[in-house]
Structure 1
């Protein structure tokens, strides 16, 4: 029987001395040795608030920044950058720009003000606002007729 090292983190990090093994006699024995000695470590997403703040700062400086540029600048895995941007910061990509998923109170207030201004403008202008053609040209409807 082959003597294989205990699976665990210490083996993957090289903390235990290598164990001398005899040469496998069959292909099946080789597969069992390979399966038992393979240890994979997935990179864990960083919980560092500094990295999250730095990613947020990079996005706020340039809303068109790419994930590749962020992970190259910060030297962290791309999957971690993606998790920080989408899960922790709550950004999503819209028209090649990172925007927050939730509107802030200021944005909500601005939307209400603009909607009220447009409603007031439509009430003053009446049905003529419906006749606006492409590009905001009021004469566009008459040109087509």
Structure 2
């Protein structure tokens, strides 16, 4: 089936909610090249975040040694961005506070 026919059927079925013609053509090209999914392909290059297993382990080790360390101090000591430490402490482990005063 040609991509123009596929787009026509999609447009008839979904009306205003139909995907664009260029997207249908792109997907048809991808599947014609042997691709089996429309999910994003892995990207090359630098990772978008430094929240990785190594940094998580390093942060946890520091917190266990000194529960009074501030996020800023941990970031400086480990030489990783403050936002990364914040994500590890708050998002990964769900800590609200590392220590009480």
Shorter-chain TM-score category?
0.3 to 0.5
Larger radius of gyration: 1
Q: TM-score when scaled to structure 1?
A: 0.34
Structure with higher RCO (Cα < 8 A, 6+ apart): 2
**Structure 1 or 2: more strand by fraction:** 1
